[in-house]
A = this chain, B = another copy of it.
Amino acid sequence: MKPIRFYYEFASPYSYISMMRIEELTAQHGIEVIYQPFLIGPLFKDVGWETSPFLIYEAKGKNFFRDIVREAEHYGLPPLQILDEFPQRGLRAARVALLGMAEGWGVAFSKAVYRRQFQQGLPIIGESDVKAVMSETGIENVNEVYEQAQGEENKGRLFEIVNEAKALGLYGAPSFVVGDELFWGNDRLTRAISYAQRD
């Protein structure tokens, strides 16, 4: 049984849907998930996109905003909320999530970030937004932990994960890396799980 490296971006609605599905789906088969909060922006910049391709390509973007609403409904999630400011820059939250992965609360925090954005329709960009989610997650010493997360060492770790993602050939979010195979998109989560179970 191979572990699944799950790369997710807080701005990405499809990453959100995968986050809400992956625990149950993998637990059924005893598959380990390595949660990798990361940033898709630097990868988009490498191909010349300064923002989301859903904003750059009009027809694609228009359908995207319909599709994510339909997909959230399909997976039994609450009506999807999209903020006027899309995409929501999730840099600060990603740093906190990464720190949380080492401390055992990273998944709970990440889910709460997604719920805030896509279920409650509240921003996740600012320091106060991120701290509100931290409090909600039950993290003690919110201010100290937040400072540590935004510190040089943790920033460097997130930077490394983004570079690893590039080296692995990622180009979108969510992505799933299983052994040498890369699977892109929430639509490929079940494929990644099937592949993880192969000998």
* Residues of chain A having any CB pair with chain B under 8 Å: 43, 47, 57, 59-60, 62-63, 66-67, 70, 74, 169-172, 181-185, 187-188, 191
| Bound-state Cα–Cα, A57 to B56, Å | 15
Which residues of B lie under 8 Å from residue A43 when comparing CB positions?
59
Q: Check if A74 sits within 8 Å of B169, measured CB to CB.
A: no
Taking CB atoms, residues of chain B closer than 8 Å to A185 are: 187
Complex contact B182–A66 (CB within 8 A): yes
**What is the CA–CA distance of A184 and B61 in the complex, to the nearest angstrom?**
12
> Which of A59, A171, A188 has its CB near the most chain B CB atoms (within 10 A)?
A59
Instruction: Select which of B62, B66, B171 is within 8 A of A57 by beta carbon.
Output: B171
Complex contacts, A182 vs chain B, CB 8 Å? 63, 66
Knowing that A60-B171, A185-B187 touch, tell me 11 more A-B residue pairs with CB under 8 angstroms: A47-B57, A47-B59, A59-B169, A59-B170, A59-B171, A62-B169, A63-B171, A67-B183, A67-B184, A67-B188, A74-B191
State in angstroms the CA–CA spacing of A51 and B99 once bound together: 42
Residue pair B184, A63 in contact (C-beta under 8 Å): yes
Q: Chain B residues near A47 (CB, 8 Å)?
A: 57, 59
Does B171 contact A66, Cβ atoms closer than 8 Å?
A: no
Contacts of A169 in B (CB 8 A): 59, 62-63
* Contact call B60/A172, Cβ cutoff below 8 A: yes
- Chain B residue at minimum C-beta to C-beta distance from A56: B47
Q: Give the docked Cα–Cα distance between A108 and B191 (Å).
A: 30
- Residue pairs across A and B with Cβ atoms less than 8 A apart, 24 shown, are A43-B59, A47-B57, A47-B59, A57-B171, A59-B169, A59-B170, A59-B171, A60-B171, A60-B172, A62-B169, A63-B169, A63-B171, A63-B182, A63-B184, A66-B181, A66-B182, A67-B183, A67-B184, A67-B188, A70-B181, A70-B191, A74-B191, A185-B187, A187-B187
